Structure 1
Amino acid sequence: MQKLFVKQSLSQKLSPQQIQFIKLLQIPTAELDSRVEEELESNPALEEGREKEKEKEDDNSDDYDEMDYSETSLESLKDSTTDVNINDYLSQDDVAGYKMQGDGNYQEEDRDMPISSMTSLIDELTRQLGYLRLDERMHTIGMQLIGSVDDDGYIRRDLDAIVNDLAFIQNIQTDKSEIEKLLRRIQQFDPAGIGARDLQECLLIQLKRQEKIKKEDAPLTEENKGEFKILEDAIHIISMCFEEFKKKHFKKIQRKLNLSEDELRAAMGIILKLNPKPGGSGFGMVKVQYIIPDFTIKYNSGDLELSLNSRNAPQLHISRNYTNMLEGYDKSDKKDKKLKQEVSFVKQKLDAAKWFIDAIKQRQHTLLKTMSAIMNYQREFFLEGEDSKLRPMILKDIANEIGMDISTVSRVANSKAVQTDFGVFPLKYFFSESIQTDSGEDVSSKEVKAILKGLIEDESKRKPYSDDKLEKLLRARGYQIARRTVAKYREQLNIPVARLRKEV
């Protein structure tokens, strides 16, 4: 039985101004210019640059008209309470609420700039397909195959699915065997290994091409028989022992193929020079991302100086024309419905412009306040630039220091970078867990990772250290660390397990 009842509850919602600030806070300096341009285009009440001197002299008492936040020191950024009283002009019912651009189903646009263009892989394969002198039908099938090539050079789409695509989209009836026959010809294109359906096929294509070229260049003789034998062994390893090869079970490969250790080492030397991703061989769109530091920390006369990138301080002000329109409305007939609608639009745009300027100012203040706390917390690192000087630091430490929420610190640290005398670092670099030593001292996990990386680099590649062994070595140095933590740090350093680090 359904019943109606009244329930009272408390909930918290972000205001449009808070949403505005949050979205501006999390974007890096490189994207701020674009975001400001978007707001300037959508809001005619917002203008960029300084107002003309004459206009400022006309009304020096109205500090709302001109808001220049070009100063980048922390002391210069103070909370502004300046507001425009336009409630006298309109009732609340007449005012449309400010809707920030991008509210609702908002997604940040991907702006990886700049992008330099090169000959694409598809264009290069299409050019080579023309050399096969195929009829129109087979050329269409070839183009369908080329269109199925991934960015790394593989065709992972099932050939039966390509048969169906040709039937339904191109109205071409074919079968798997015909497509596979053409695929074999495409696999002879450059770069070597293109069009393979898996890694094993990719490596075999490259090895067999080397074998073919070697035979064409010089026939088999007693002098070069050893070179052909090495290449033949490499082909056998990939074709007959691929699972053992992936898992680096070298003893099993030796027993299965009856190879000596020297023969295995020579064959592996050839295999390891092959290209597992032929699609990345200088083709396609190359995205070049430049890191633009949001902060700069310099050592000057025994002290550290923090400054904010000047691009974080755009010069914005409210349009004089729009404020004049409101002043004109005060002297006109307030019962004019059309004029009332116009001023409603003007007020909405003025509110939006003021909130945007305030959000930019608040962004500057929060960035500097957060980075200042990080700089003071990691002062020894910024003075000497050594990882061993990094203190354990989590988001909560900085949040408590500056009196802000952890989520705010996270947004600042997530996509920002700082330029120091020792290089450019992402802010996330300075956050790490703490590990306790035998003496009870807390050290940064980054210090432990650096030592772990050094131990692995110095190990014997024929008998690499297991995680248990690495744990014992770290404990011998005074770091109280569990084996699972060793495994976690090793994975974070993108270092494989001992078995996969083993070499012949």
Structure 2
Amino acid sequence: MQSLQLSQKQTQRLTPLQLQYLKLLELNSLEMEERIKEELIDNPALEEGKEESIPEEEKHLEEEDTLNSDELIKGDYSSVEDMPPLQLGERDFSEGSASKYEEWGLRSGTSLREHLEEQIQLLDFNEKERHISSYIIGNLDEEGYLRRDVSSLKDDISIAEGEIIEKEEVFNILKIIQELDPEGIAATSLQECLLIQLRHKSQSVAVENAILILEKTFEDFSKKNFQRVGEQTGLSQEEIKSAMEEILSLNPKPGLSFSQEESMDAKETIIPDFSLDFGGERELSISLNDAHIPPLKVSTEYKDMIESPSKRGKNEDKIAYNFAKEKIEKAEWFVSSVKNRSETLLIVMRSIAEFQSQFFLSGEKSSLKPMTLRDISEKSGLDISTISRVCNGKYVETPWGTFSLRSFFTDKVQMQDGENVSREIVKQALLEVIAKEDKSNPLSDEELSKHLRDKGFLVARRTIVKYREQLNIPIAKLRRGV
């Protein structure tokens, strides 16, 4: 009989109160405000106002439930890989959907038109091509779609420019614009928008199946008629499910990632959790944007209820006493948790600012250093999972724009001399090589890889492909003559 070997693994079980504290860490500024409002309604022993100092002997929290940022999270996750990914809700891919999607990273108020025209400047278009591209961009709606057909657009451009513009010229420029950031921009339909994004993804069986579904059965897919999708594509329900996960990760309205020309809808505005500015002698000054979060204290009335000896005699008085005692303990825990949360958030943000100080001082993306959750964990003394929870969904306002905390974590690329540099530096070097290439004979991905290796970057061809796609730079064939 085969023997079974049992091994014991020592783990730390978190108390219910500690788990509640972890949830508080994940909340952004607006969510925390709502959480406090809920607690004020649910717990009559919690009030708005500054807490009076309480003598040590009168504290009611048990020692095992006190909050210590260093010890609290230990054992929560054993590694970064164990941490759950961000969850995205199911998206509505019908044409009339009003959902809005926000992007990670920079939210500096740049309009979609400005963002696209900045990229056009890198393409070395001649004057005629610039006019065509400007006209196309000007005809995109706020969701990033081109709702007009190429023929009518061609006629309008011909009249405006006073010369005959061929339909093929407009079509070729449109295809180049569709390779720009954000992915899916300038599509003429939802189907085309999603297909453009899928073709930019690293190819896999699931991605190939997703492309097949959208090309052959888009109408049935949008109506969630998955049985028909399976019949027309020959895919199993498991394959359709995997393909759906790829499709649901796409952005059906890429233009909404940017502010509009006049103003942004209040629903799209990000409320930063932190503010970063310069103090004296260009020192970084960091503050928590918590002005809308009220100070909290334990109700004096409820304290008096448990301090009165008469409340411990009769049965009904005991019930009232126990009720008040329970509510006070919860209120004391919540007041302490809110305070600890603020301190933890500031510790993490200051550690990030110190690690990426060159970026915050210059605003240059190429100044970002390779940085991982473990780097900030070691710098702050907090657990990796604490860092992850603090960074998720939170933003910092800086003189250079508003950024998500997650955008400061960048992969490292090794140089030939053993030094590690940020992938942003490699991307910048890639842009410079492409900008100087012979436009009549653009460099292939393998040739680009060789050029970067000559500069000391240890990057393979597949890495070049990945970075080129992230930068929305077309393949060599599409760069010819532009």
Q: TM-score, normalised by structure 2?
A: 0.56
Q: What are the Cα deviations for residues 206-246 of structure 1, in whole angstroms up to 9, with x where unaligned?
A: 357779999xx9xxxxxx9x96x94xxx5xxxxxxxxxxxx
Contact 2:49 2:296 in 1 (8 A): yes
Please report how far the alpha carbon of residue 271 of structure 1 lies from its aligned counterpart in structure 2 after TM superposition: 8.0
CA–CA distance in structure 1, aligned partners of residues 294 and 57 of structure 2: 19
- Give, as a single letter, the amino acid of the residue that structure 2 aligns with 1:341: I
Structure (1 or 2) with the larger CA radius of gyration: 1
- Which residue identity does 2:311 align to in structure 1? S
Cα drift, residue 408 of structure 1: 0.9
Q: Given that residues 312 and 364 in structure 1 are in contact (C-alpha distance below 8 angstroms), is that contact kept between their aligned partners in structure 2?
A: no
Name 2:284's counterpart in structure 1. Answer: 304
Instruction: Confirm or deny: 8 A CA contact 1:30 1:292 kept in the other structure.
Output: no
Aligned to 2:212: none
User: How do 1:6-85 and structure 2 match up within 5 A?
Assistant: 12-50=12-50, 63=54, 84-85=59-60
Find the partner of 2:313 among 329, 334, 347: 334
Change (3 A) 1:320 1:149: same
Partner SS state of residue 332, structure 1: helix
Distance 1:23 1:427 in 2: 18
**Alignment correspondent of 1:265:** 169
Distance 1:454 1:413, change over 3 A: farther
Distance 2:458 2:61 in 1: 64
Q: Determine helix, strand or coil for the equivalent of 2:284.
A: strand
CA distance in structure 1 between the aligned counterparts of 2:155 and 2:370, rounded to whole angstroms: 58
CA distance in structure 1 between the aligned counterparts of 2:392 and 2:313, rounded to whole angstroms: 50
Matches within 5 A, 1:476-495: 476-495=454-473
CA distance in 2 between counterparts of 1:308 and 1:212 reads 54
Structure 2: which amino acid aligns with 1:33? Answer: E
Deviation at 1:478, TM superposition (A): 1.8
Show the counterpart of 1:165: none
1:321 aligns with 2:301: yes
For the 8 Å contact 2:29–2:271, the answer to whether it is kept is no
**Aligned pairs for 1:350-369 within 5 A:** 350-369=328-347
CA contact 2:154–2:170 (8 Å) conserved in 1: no
Look up the equivalent residue of 1:303 and give its one-letter code: E
Q: 1:375 to 1:43 in 2, by over 3 A?
A: same
Moved more, 414-423 or 477-486: 414-423
Partner SS for 2:320:
helix
Paired residues of 1:370 and 1:398 also in contact (CA < 8 A):
yes
Secondary structure at the counterpart of residue 291 of structure 2: helix
SS at match of 1:480: coil
**1:276 partnered with 2:188:** yes
What letter is aligned with 2:14?
L
* Partner residue, 2:269: 289
- Which amino acid in the other structure matches residue 407 of structure 2? Y
Tell whether the 8 Å contact from 1:294 to 1:309 is kept in structure 2 after alignment: yes
Deviation at 1:30, TM superposition (A): 3.2
SS state at 1:314 partner: coil
1:498 positional shift: 4.0
- Deviations 1:335-385 (CA, angstroms, capped at 9, x unpaired): 51x333333332232222112111111111111211222222223333333
Counterpart-to-counterpart distance in 2, 1:270 and 1:409: 43
Cα distance, 1:472–1:362 mapped onto 2, change above 3 Å: same
Find the aligned partners of 1:24 and 1:320 in 2 and give their Cα distance. 25
Of stretches 401-410 and 372-381 in structure 1, the one that deviates more from structure 2 is 372-381
Tell me: CA distance 1:10–1:49, structure 2 relative to 1, closer, same or farther (3 Å): same
Residues 299, 383 of structure 1: 8 Å contact kept? no
Show CA shifts across 1:316-350 (max 9, x none). Answer: 1111111122123x3235351x3333333322322
Structure 2 distance, partners of 1:151, 1:463, is: 43
Q: Distance in 2 between matches of 1:86 and 1:399?
A: 28
CA distance in 2, matches of 1:383, 1:426: 17
The CA distance in 2 between the partners of 1:86 and 1:448, in whole Å, is 52
Equivalent residue in structure 2 for 1:413, among 384, 388, 391: 391
Correspondence for 1:429: 407
TM-score (norm 1): 0.54
The CA deviation at 1:396 is 0.6
Unaligned runs of 5+ in 2: 1-6, 63-85, 99-138, 178-185, 191-251, 257-263
Question: Residue 185 of structure 1 corresponds to which residue in structure 2?
Answer: none
Q: Say if 1:13 and 1:212 are closer, same or farther in 2 by CA, change over 3 A.
A: same
Tell me, in whole angstroms, the C-alpha distance in 1 between the residues paired with 2:61 and 2:355. 45
- Alpha-carbon contact 2:272-2:402 (below 8 Å) kept: no
1:376-398, CA deviations, whole angstroms, 9 ceiling, x for partnerless residues? 22233333333343322211111
